[in-house]
Every structure is written in structure tokens, then in C-alpha cells.
Amino acid sequence: MDIKSYNYFITPNTIQKPKKEKFTDKFITHTKNSADMNDTVIVPRTIFKGYLGFMAGTTLTSLGAIFKKQVKLSKTLNALGVITCLYGTWAFIRPFIVKD
């Protein structure tokens, strides 16, 4: 026959502290519809390339405007920015124009 003893007293070491909530967890717990945080949208690869082209092109053009005193660098960055924006436009519009 085994005699087992149980400790039913609460000591400061046995009290569990609530977990500290991460900053990103607050978005999920405080949204009315938590499915909004987990839903994903499938974007075709060419449209995503178009967005990247727009962002990179505007960044290059902005850098070209910043370096006005260095004429060669400014013109090169502006030309690359325009070409990248044109590619972004083509990549964004192509799925809507060209049908397989």
C-alpha cells in the first residue's frame, strides 16, 4: 500500500503569472473579426512584379532628384527609374490584356 501526499497550499512559487502579450498578438485579440487577420489574397506573380516595379521605379526617380548636383548619377537614376516604372506598368497590365 502506497501513501501519497499532495501539497494543496499555494506558495509564491506555484502562482502562475499571466503571459505577457506580444504587440502583434494584440491585433488578433482586439479585432472584431479575427478571420480578417488570417485571410490571404492570392496575387498573380506578374501583378506582384508590377508593384515591385512601381516601388523600385519611384525610389530610383526620387534618388535621382536628391542627387541633382551630380548630373551623371542623377540622369542615370532617373532613366533607370523610368524604365523600371515602365516595366512595372507592363507587368501589372499584361494579365488583363493578354489572355491565355
The DSSP string of 73-96 is HHHHHHHHHHHHHHHHHHHHHHHH
| Residue 6: band (very low, low, confident or very high) from pLDDT cuts 50, 70, 90 | low
Residues 57 and 63: their CA atoms lie apart, in Å, by 10
- The answer to whether position 90 is within a domain reads yes
At 7-48, the pLDDT tens digits run 566 566 656 666 777 776 766 666 656 555 555 666 678 888
Among the residue ranges 52-56, 62-66, 88-92, the one predicted with the least confidence is 88-92
Domain that holds residue 80: 42-97
Over residues 37-64, the mean pLDDT reads: 83
The domain total for the chain is: 1
- The answer to whether position 16 is within a domain reads no
- The answer to whether position 48 is within a domain reads yes
- The answer to whether position 77 is within a domain reads yes
